[in-house]
């Protein structure tokens, strides 16, 4: 056996636990439809993550349906459902994940004195008791149970050890140490984990996991410190999305472990060539744009402006690049379709980009493709925009059927809209506004009977050129709740109107089911 083979045998395997669909969706303004969540989950399976945390089933009917669909339809990764240390939560999580090939219940409770006293109005003794009972009950239902002490990094180490020991004794398979508020530092976190393993030696027989937030910009560094300290699972999110400043970024953690395998001495099972596709899909569906200078997946990650850098890269890429674009799937996609391309070619092109559209969604996408292809050659970027525009779009009650705008520089713009409702027919309304977009939004408010207040408006060209598709993203406040919407059209006013109607649909869907507001992990 060669030295390289012996080294590989000694390498630990670090599992990638993806929480994009649970913690990531808790980002302000993100509200994914069930179909969008399922599509992202399929892409996470292609990425070959080990665990998909699909949602928090008890929070709403929509979340329960999404977790159930993912558990039933997505194969490969384990599928986890989140639950507080409450029996109804745990039962609901099990009802959702039990269809999975590898189901997991993930239960949690706050363990810092701040959380125990002010959030839960409980006591240390009661929390230990509830944690053990919850894990024991979850284990009676599911073969795989994860336990997380929330705010673990601000929990006194003696008490944290007591809670963890109780969870292990009750049957927890995974112990996840959560830096819930992004408070710790890499050296401090590593020391905490090492001491915890010394105090609870039974952890050697369990999976030790870490979950780090980015409030001080150290989520990735803390996660990697956790791996150095013995963690064999890392909890991450695509593009680093999540509560407040977000989570540790999946692509950054994965590529750090892969690129510096010589230092960390661990292996991951992720197919890194799917990272770019996954990042773009999540960005497109959530409306959270990837900063151009973001590590690994930002558009500048492999760009070189400096003459010295350019010269070096031309001579040998290794002079200024520690990764190559092909490592993350940036091979340069040459998909171009024209107006004579058929439905089968379009479906195959979508699948090459990671989107699987069927039935009505494919039919709508094909019609939209034909409309666009009459005016321009359709590129891969256009196809991604069309796919995202159609995934889950049928779920809304309202649909923009027609609009008309009269605009001039010397007077207010006037808009008329016709909105169809899935159950109640059509509504028509007119309104004036400060410009065509404002007029259309006010007319939509009048037609739907739901008044919104625009909080954010962003317009982008999908590709270059005067014939580019316009992509509009909005964040709208309806009765104190912020909802996001996205619209696509070569007419930017139409794109804006479609985005606004989508946001209204999200609000209607959310209003139909109550949500648990307690922050998790």
Q: How confident is the prediction along the chain (521 residues), in pLDDT tens digits per residue?
A: 455 544 555 689 999 999 999 999 888 878 788 999 999 999 999 999 999 999 999 999 989 999 999 999 999 999 999 999 999 999 999 999 999 999 999 999 999 999 999 988 999 999 999 999 999 999 999 999 999 999 999 999 999 999 999 999 999 999 999 999 999 999 999 999 999 999 999 999 999 999 999 999 999 999 999 999 999 999 999 999 999 999 999 999 999 999 999 999 999 999 999 999 999 999 988 888 899 899 999 988 876 444 544 445 455 556 656 788 889 888 655 566 777 788 888 888 888 888 888 888 888 888 888 888 887 778 888 888 888 888 855 456 888 999 999 998 888 999 999 999 878 889 999 999 999 999 999 999 999 999 999 999 999 888 777 778 888 989 999 998 888 888 888 899 999 999 999 889 888 877 765 444 445 77
Angle at 393 between CA 357 and CA 400, to 5 degrees: 135
| pTM as predicted | 0.84
In which region does residue 56 sit, left (phi positive, over 0), alpha (psi from -120 to 50) or beta (all else)? Answer: beta
> What pLDDT score was predicted for residue 335?
61
Question: How far apart, in whole angstroms, are the C-alpha atoms of residue 491 and residue 474?
Answer: 16
> What pLDDT score was predicted for residue 334?
55
Angle at 161 between CA 134 and CA 222, to 5 degrees: 100
CA 247 from chain centre, in angstroms, equals 10
Kindly report the backbone phi and psi dihedral angles of residue 53, in degrees, each rounded to the nearest multiple of 5, phi listed first.
-85, 105
CB 355 within 8 A of CB 387: yes
C-alpha atoms less than 13 angstroms from C-alpha of 509 in its C-beta half-sphere: 27
In which region does residue 395 sit, left (phi positive, over 0), alpha (psi from -120 to 50) or beta (all else)? Answer: alpha
> What pLDDT score was predicted for residue 310?
44
Beta pairing, strands 233-236 & 207-212 = parallel
Find the helix or strand (DSSP H, E) in which 108 lies.
Answer: strand 103-110
CB 64 within 8 A of CB 32: no
Beta pairing, strands 411-421 & 425-433 = antiparallel
Provide the b/e sequence for 3-39 (b: ≥16 CB within 10 Å): eeeeeeeeeeebbbbbbbbbbbbbbebbbbbbbbbbb
Assigned token pair, 112: 């810092």
Beta strands in 275-410 (DSSP E): 336-337, 378-379, 398-408
CB 105 within 8 A of CB 80: yes
């Amino acid at each position: 056996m060669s030295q390289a083979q012996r080294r590989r045998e000694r390498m630990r395997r670090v599992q990638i636990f993806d929480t994009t669909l649970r913690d990531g969706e808790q980002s302000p303004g993100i509200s994914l439809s069930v179909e969008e969540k399922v599509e992202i989950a399929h892409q996470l399976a292609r990425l070959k993550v080990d665990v998909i945390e699909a949602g928090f089933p008890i929070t709403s009917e929509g979340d329960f349906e999404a977790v159930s669909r993912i558990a039933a339809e997505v194969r490969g990764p384990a599928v986890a459902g989140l639950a507080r240390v409450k029996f109804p939560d745990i039962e609901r999580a099990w009802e959702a994940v039990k269809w999975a090939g590898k189901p997991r219940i993930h239960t949690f409770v706050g363990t810092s004195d701040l959380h125990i006293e002010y959030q839960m109005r409980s006591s240390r003794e009661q929390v230990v008791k509830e944690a053990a009972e919850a894990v024991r009950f979850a284990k009676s239902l599911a073969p795989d149970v994860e336990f997380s002490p929330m705010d673990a990094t601000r929990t006194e180490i003696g008490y944290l050890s007591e809670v963890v020991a109780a969870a292990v004794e009750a049957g927890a398979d995974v112990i996840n140490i959560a830096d819930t508020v992004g408070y710790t530092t890499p050296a401090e976190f590593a020391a905490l984990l090492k001491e915890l393993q010394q105090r609870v030696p039974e952890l050697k027989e369990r999976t030790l996991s870490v979950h780090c937030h980015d409030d001080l910009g150290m989520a990735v560094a803390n996660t990697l410190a956790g791996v150095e300290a013995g963690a064999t699972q890392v909890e991450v999110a695509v593009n680093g999305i999540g509560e407040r400043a977000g989570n540790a970024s999946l692509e950054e953690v994965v590529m750090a472990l892969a690129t510096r395998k010589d230092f960390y001495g661990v292996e991951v099972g992720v197919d890194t060539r799917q990272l770019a596709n996954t990042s773009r899909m999540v960005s497109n569906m959530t409306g959270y744009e990837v900063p151009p200078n973001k590590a690994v997946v930002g558009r500048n990650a492999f760009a070189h402006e400096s003459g010295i850098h350019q010269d070096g890269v031309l001579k040998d890429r290794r002079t200024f690049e520690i990764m190559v674009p092909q490592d993350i799937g940036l091979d340069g996609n040459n998909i171009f379709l024209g107006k004579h391309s058929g439905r089968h070619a379009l479906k195959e092109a979508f699948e090459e980009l990671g989107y699987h559209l069927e039935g009505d969604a494919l039919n709508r996408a094909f019609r939209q493709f034909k409309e666009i292809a009459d005016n321009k050659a359709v590129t891969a970027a256009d196809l991604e925009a069309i796919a995202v525009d159609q995934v889950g779009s049928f779920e809304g009650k309202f649909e923009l059927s027609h609009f008309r705008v009269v605009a001039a520089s010397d007077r207010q713009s006037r808009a008329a809209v016709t909105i169809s409702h899935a159950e109640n027919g059509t509504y028509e309304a007119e309104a004036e506004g400060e410009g065509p977009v404002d007029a259309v939004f006010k007319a939509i408010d009048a037609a739907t009977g739901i008044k919104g207040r625009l909080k954010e408006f962003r317009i982008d060209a999908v590709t270059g050129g005067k014939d580019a598709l316009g992509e509009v993203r909005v964040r709208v406040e309806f009765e104190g709740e912020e909802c996001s919407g996205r619209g696509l059209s070569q007419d930017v006013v139409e794109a804006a109107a479609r985005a606004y109607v989508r946001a209204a649909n999200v609000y209607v869907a959310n209003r139909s089911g109550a949500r648990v507001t307690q922050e998790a992990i």
